[in-house]
């Protein structure tokens, strides 16, 4: 029995089985690579599902977190810290939020969505419109916005008043939004659905529809934010100003954190003292991590790098003309390799054996969300291995 097998047995004996049994036990990482407990190395093309924006062991993040751990980890929400304020200011800057905008810090994406739901309820309306195939989290409020029946049905009845409409369908959205709608909640790219990218006009029309109805437009940037699509946030590709965005995943580079950013004074005034809170949100450690991540992305030019590497990947896959691979879609370094049959699980398994970590997010879709620091030669090593991987997966 390998060390990996022994640890997985202990995992099964001690962990609640909500994830099933994972295939690997990781011991450590460096850059875009991770190692398992048996010493095998893998190119990490998932990045903790878009979390490890700077990869593993990035010097700026290690230094900031180590320094902060020696100073203060937690100060409670009875007080604040310079780091919390600095990170809020930085998020307002990179999101190009107008004057009067504000930040609420949480610990995760689903908590940021919960805050967004409460923000929407403060409009005095109760209806929320979300998209079919959307994923917004698994807490009960966020789950009401999430569309997948298998996630929802065991826990119904959920939060009432939520309507789902087809994604990238402005006509359906227009019919669903009325005077009882508090908010429309949309992902700029649907990551969990298989990296589904709408027409650029869709978010623009959603902005017009919500504004006309007096409803909020809340953009879920949990997976698409912090440089993942080649801009700081996915909504920026459409050139709109939303009423609020939710942020998490890549913001902490691996340290749990999340945020709700409200745009403008009117929306920012909806939640007042005592109406929401958190024990750990915006703690000094998470704030230090967030500042380090944002600083490194800017200093190393990783927004442009994400765009370049994403385009490079798509071009290399197209040039390779791999049987059963039908294309690449997505933005920046949030990409999907599409397949002509439901073989993604088999492809991911063979890829793992070959030293590559990829995500079979849908039966005919492989999702890639590698660290933003990934280099062309690393992507090329995967593309070079892809024909053999697919051949073995379909044998």
* Same domain (yes/no): 284, 389: no
Residue 220 marked ligand-binding: yes
The response to whether 135 counts as a known ligand-binding position is yes
Copy the structure tokens of residue 131.
């998209």
Tell which of 284, 300, 316 closes a domain. 300
Confirm if 235 and 189 have CB atoms less than 8 A apart: no
Residue 66, domain member (yes or no): no
Residue 50 sits in the same domain as residue 28:
yes
Is the pTM for the entire model greater than 0.95?
yes
What is the chain's pLDDT, residue by residue, as a tens digit (395 residues)?
899 999 999 999 999 999 999 999 999 999 999 999 999 999 999 999 999 999 999 999 999 999 999 999 999 999 999 999 999 999 999 999 999 999 999 999 999 999 999 999 999 999 999 999 999 999 999 999 999 999 999 999 999 999 999 999 999 999 999 999 999 999 999 999 999 999 999 999 999 999 999 999 999 999 999 999 999 999 999 999 999 999 999 999 999 999 999 999 999 999 999 999 999 999 999 999 999 999 999 999 999 999 999 999 999 999 999 999 999 999 999 999 999 999 999 999 999 999 999 999 999 999 999 999 999 999 999 999 999 999 999 99
219 in a labelled binding site: no
Give residue 135's domain range: 72-300
What values do phi and psi take at 304, rounded to 5? Answer: -65, -35
Residues 265 and 143 in one domain: yes
**Co-location of 83 and 155 in the same domain:** yes
- The reply, when asked if residue 109 is annotated as ligand binding, is yes
Number of H helices, E strands in the chain: 14, 15
Preceding amide of 261 cis, omega within 30: no
Q: Examine the domain organization and report whether 48 and 131 are in the same domain.
A: no
Q: Based on the structure, what is the number of domains in the chain? A: 2
Domain assignment present for 64: no
Tokens 């905008």 locate to 101
- Contact present, 257 and 105 (Cβ < 8 Å): yes
Question: Does residue 313 sit in the same domain as residue 222?
Answer: no
Residue 36 marked in a binding site: no
Q: Are residues 130 and 240 in the same domain?
A: yes
- Domain identity same for 50 and 159: no
Is 279 labeled as ligand-binding? yes
Could you tell me if 136 and 109 lie in one domain?
yes
Nearest CA-CA partner of 223 in 375, 368, 379, 95: 368
Q: Are residues 13 and 25 in the same domain?
A: yes
Contact 126, 161 (CB under 8 A): yes
Judge whether 376 lies within some domain: yes
Determine if residue 221 is labeled as part of a ligand binding site: yes
């Amino acid at each position: 029995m390998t060390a990996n097998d022994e640890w997985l047995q202990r995992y099964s004996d001690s962990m609640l089985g909500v994830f099933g049994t994972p295939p690997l036990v990781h011991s450590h990482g460096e850059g875009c690579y991770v190692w398992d407990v048996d010493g095998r190395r893998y190119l990490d093309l998932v990045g903790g599902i878009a979390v490890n924006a700077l990869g593993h062991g990035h010097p700026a993040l290690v230094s900031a977190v180590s320094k902060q751990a020696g100073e203060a980890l937690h100060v409670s929400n009875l007080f604040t810290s310079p780091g919390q304020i600095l990170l809020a200011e930085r998020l307002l800057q990179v999101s190009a939020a107008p004057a009067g905008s504000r930040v609420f810090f949480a610990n995760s994406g689903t908590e940021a969505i919960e805050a967004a739901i409460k923000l929407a309820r403060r409009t005095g309306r109760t209806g929320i419109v979300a998209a079919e195939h959307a994923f917004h989290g698994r807490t009960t409020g966020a789950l009401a916005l999430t569309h997948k029946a298998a996630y929802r049905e065991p826990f119904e009845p959920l939060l009432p008043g939520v309507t789902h409409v087809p994604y990238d369908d402005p006509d359906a959205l227009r019919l669903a939004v009325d005077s009882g709608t508090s908010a429309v909640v949309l992902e700029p790219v649907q990551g969990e659905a298989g990296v589904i990218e709408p027409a650029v006009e869709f978010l623009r029309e959603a902005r017009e529809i919500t504004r006309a109805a007096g409803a909020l437009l809340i953009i879920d940037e949990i997976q698409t934010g912090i440089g993942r699509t080649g801009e700081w946030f996915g909504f920026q590709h459409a050139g709109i100003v939303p009423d609020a965005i939710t942020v998490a995943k890549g913001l902490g580079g691996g340290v749990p954190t999340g945020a709700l950013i409200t745009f403008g004074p009117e929306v920012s005034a909806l939640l007042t003292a005592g109406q929401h809170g958190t024990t750990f949100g915006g703690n000094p450690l998470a704030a230090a991590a967030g500042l380090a991540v944002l600083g490194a992305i800017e200093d190393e030019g990783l927004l442009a790098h994400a765009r370049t590497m994403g385009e490079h990947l798509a071009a290399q896959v197209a040039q390779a003309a791999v049987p059963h691979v039908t294309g690449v879609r997505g933005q920046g370094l949030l990409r999907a390799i599409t397949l002509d049959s439901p073989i993604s699980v088999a492809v991911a398994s063979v890829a793992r054996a070959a030293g590559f970590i990829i995500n079979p997010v849908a039966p005919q879709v492989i999702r890639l969300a590698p660290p933003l620091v990934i280099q062309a030669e690393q992507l090329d090593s995967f593309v070079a291995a892809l024909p053999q991987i697919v051949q073995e997966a379909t044998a």
